[in-house]
Amino acid sequence: MPVSIWLIGVAEAHRPGLSYARIDADSLTVAIARPELATRIPLDDLSAARVLLAELTVDQTTVVMGGPCVASEPVVREVEGDGIELRVPLSCPGGGGGAYTASFLTGLGPGHRHYVEAFGQPVAVLDAANLTVTFTGASDRGEVVARFGKLGVEHILTGYDHLTFLLALLLTAPGLRPMLAIVTGFTVAHSITLTLAALGLVHLSPDLVEPAIALSIVYVGIENFWRPRPARRVAVTFLLGLVHGFGFAGLLGELGLPRDALMLALVSFNGGVELGQAAVVAVALPLMLFLRRFGWWERIGVPAGSVGVALAGVWWLGERVLG
């Protein structure tokens, strides 16, 4: 199931017809909409209805990790409007993967969907005809580092808009030290917004972010004609990097982040982006500095390259706005 659909489901998990389960090493959390249960038990006092709530939901679930897990008394609370959440401490014989069965789904309305997440990863959408799902254990740290580091490198080397932005900066870079300052400013900026977006603290629609990235490319291409001072370019690149960070976050949102290793995945992705950027700078900057020795490069090469960058940005802008 695409992660975008999964996120929509989780966001609406407290609506009638939808419920949600989160499995961790030592707990099971079930969230369900109040209207699903209100016709069967009185819910005016949740603490008084706790036993009945448990009987209708978590008592009819089974979690197996190395053997059947033993559940303790659930903690009940209201969440987000009409949602009711039951968190059940679990004692399991082993860790890692296992199986989850939600038999209570047979007692809910037709068409009810039950979203299941295990160790921070979406694993299934269950219903009355499909009550059981198997799942793997917590994310392997080494695998997370390798996967998201590789993803960061690939995103720079195959992300033509970000690559064009970086090459536009290299066209007028006066030397290695100023270029390192510019790239560092870009890195710090996109790391800030990427982290904020990945943690759910800030959200911008891709309909705004993607055209804004294209506009940033147009701007840098045009700004090259004014040969900005390094300090100004560092400041401008930092501001534009904040926009690019939301673009990186959109990519990670589509692929899915392991919630049990969220920060490790973010750090690894950023590290991969930096490796990709460093590879581009290591190849392109010496070439640019060499070409700068020739008068024709300053008169023709840099302006032509900057026009090409700006036109590419205009193309992407039209494509993203009209598309």
Sequence-ordered alpha helix ranges (H) in the chain: 3-11, 34-38, 50-56, 141-158, 160-171, 176-198, 206-223, 230-255, 262-291, 295-296, 302-322
- Residue among 290, 273, 314, 308 nearest 175 (CA): 290
User: How big is the chain, counted in residues?
Assistant: 323
Q: Is 173 left (phi over 0), alpha (psi -120 to 50) or beta?
A: beta
Residue owning tokens 């009711």:
84
pLDDT of residue 217: 95
pLDDT of residue 89: 92
pTM to 2 decimal places:
0.62
Residue owning tokens 């939901």:
57
Q: Is 78 helix (H, G, I), strand (E, B) or coil?
A: strand
* CB distance 280 to 177 below 8 Å: no
Residue 2 half-sphere exposure, CB side, CA atoms within 13 Å?
5
Residue 161 token pair: 């808009």
pLDDT of residue 8: 37
pLDDT of residue 136: 79
Write the DSSP symbol of residue 130. B
Could you report the average pLDDT of every consecutive run of 10 residues in the chain (323 residues)? 39 61 89 75 66 85 90 82 83 82 86 86 87 80 84 87 91 86 90 88 88 95 90 92 89 68 85 90 90 91 95 95 84
How many Å apart are CA 283 and CA 92, to the nearest integer?
53
